[in-house]
Amino acid sequence: MKRIGILTSGGDCQGLNAAIRGVAKSLYEYYGEKNLNIYGIRDGYRGLIYGDYHLMKRDNFSGILTVGGTILGTSRQPFKLIKNNDIGNIDRIECMINNYKKMKLDCLVIMGGNGTHKTANLLSQEGLNIVTLPKTIDNDLWGTDITFGFQSAVNVATNVLDCIHTTASSHSRVFIIELMGHKAGWLTLHAGLAGGADIILIPEIPYDVKSIIDTMNERSLKYKKFSIIVIAEGAMSKEYFKLSKKEQKEKRKQSHFPSVSYELANEISNLSKQEIKVTVPGHVQRGGSPCPFDRVLSTRFGAAAADLIINEKYGYMVAWVNNSIKSVLLNEVAGKLKLVPKDSIDVKTARNVGVSFGD
């Protein structure tokens, strides 16, 4: 009897259920229903810590390909808290290992982003058989060209830009659209390119407000009566970028603005005469059904994870590299961010068509 556990950790996104389905259906095809037990672990690592899991049936994996979110539930369990035994007086790592053994698992399949993979690597180093799948709308996970959930979020964000374009042009306004992405600008960059943004502001390229206003003024001279600025939530000005992390944290505490887009709107309005409007789609970007691309990618990842299990190849993350499925060692992935290179083809393309990065 093969015994497999599955959990989804961190922020939810489109494609999680498709990936769960891909793993389960592939394993059932190989082992058969009588020779396979799949345990669903509820709410990510929290469920593994507190022993909240259930034996799933084959029917549980039907009809979920197009469903957003995750049927297993998820939670955020920061890596530093996983290793901290002072909170709740429990050894979280020991609890996870004990519950893994209690389920008598042959392998634990974990789906998540950067923080999730740090904990997954820790469990692998503790001797558990781990296989992971790369999930995040930020597309910032090291070792894979793309993560599932990213393209669906790009589609949602691009639709926001498309809708804003019509009202911006009608009223001759400047719109600032704030998208998700604390440290990496992949989502903002791709949605900005796809949605025809005039100015794209990402964490990797600090901006200068005067440069942004110069771009807006240049557009006005060309009889362009509106501008679309798309900004990642983690974007920062050149002045802010020069501060130490401690100084940045203190400045955030003192800020009266709910987010970077509102602060930027205030700065622009103080230096120009144009009307500024802010749109923050927020968690809409992570919701809804996965797009066809993510349904296929998630299914590929799920099937590839099943292959690793069948071949008893543990301690790996399934990845998409150079248009094919690869497996990457967990210890090469954990703790590393994939940021947008300033000389990437997407940045060059944007600059070539006249997009400003505010620098």
Regions in the chain scoring below 50 on pLDDT: none
What does the pLDDT read at residue 85? 64
Tell me which residue has tokens 């990845």. 319
Q: Using CA atoms, how far apart are residues 39 and 244, in angstroms rounded to an integer?
A: 45
Q: Using CA atoms, how far apart are residues 11 and 77, in angstroms rounded to an integer?
A: 10
pTM: 0.94
3-state secondary structure of 213: helix
Q: Using CA atoms, how far apart are residues 339 and 12, in angstroms rounded to an integer?
A: 21
Q: Using CA atoms, how far apart are residues 114 and 95, in angstroms rounded to an integer?
A: 22
Domain ranges of the chain: 2-149+290-333, 151-286
What does the pLDDT read at residue 273? 76
Q: What is the DSSP secondary structure assignment for residue 65, as one 8-state letter?
A: T
Strand-by-strand arrangement of the 324-329 sheet: 53-56, 36-41, 2-8, 107-112, 130-134, 316-321, 324-329
Q: Are residues 355 and 230 in contact, defined by beta-carbon separation less than 8 angstroms?
A: no
**What is the CATH T-level fold of the domain 151-286, as seen in this structure?**
Rossmann fold (3.40.50)
Q: Which of 12, 43, 138, 294 is catalytic?
A: 138
- Equal CATH topology for 2-149+290-333 and 151-286: yes
CA atoms within 13 A on the CB side of 262: 7
| Range list of H helices, 58-149 | 79-82, 92-102, 114-125
Q: Using CA atoms, how far apart are residues 30 and 306, in angstroms rounded to an integer?
A: 9
Q: Are residues 132 and 120 in contact, defined by beta-carbon separation less than 8 angstroms?
A: yes
Q: Which of 117, 182, 199, 194 is nearest to 152 (CA)?
A: 194
User: Which one of 1.10.4190.10, 3.30.565.10, 3.40.50.970, 3.40.50.450 gives the CATH number of domain 2-149+290-333?
Assistant: 3.40.50.450
CA dihedral 297, 301, 302, 304 (to 10 degrees): 140
Which residues, including other chains, have CB under 8 Å from residue 30's CB and lie 6 or more apart? Answer: 306, 310
- Render pLDDT for 242-253 as a digit per residue (tens, 0 to 9): 888 888 888 888
Examine the residue annotation and report whether 145 is marked as an active-site residue of this protein.
Answer: no
Q: At what angle do helices 16-31 and 292-310 cross, to 10 degrees?
A: 40
- Render pLDDT for 180-194 as a digit per residue (tens, 0 to 9): 999 999 999 999 999
CA-to-CA separations, 152 to 42, 211, 246, 287, 297, in angstroms, rounded: 24, 31, 35, 9, 11
CA-to-CA separations, 87 to 33, 90, 91, in angstroms, rounded: 41, 7, 9
Tell me which residue has tokens 């042959």. 106
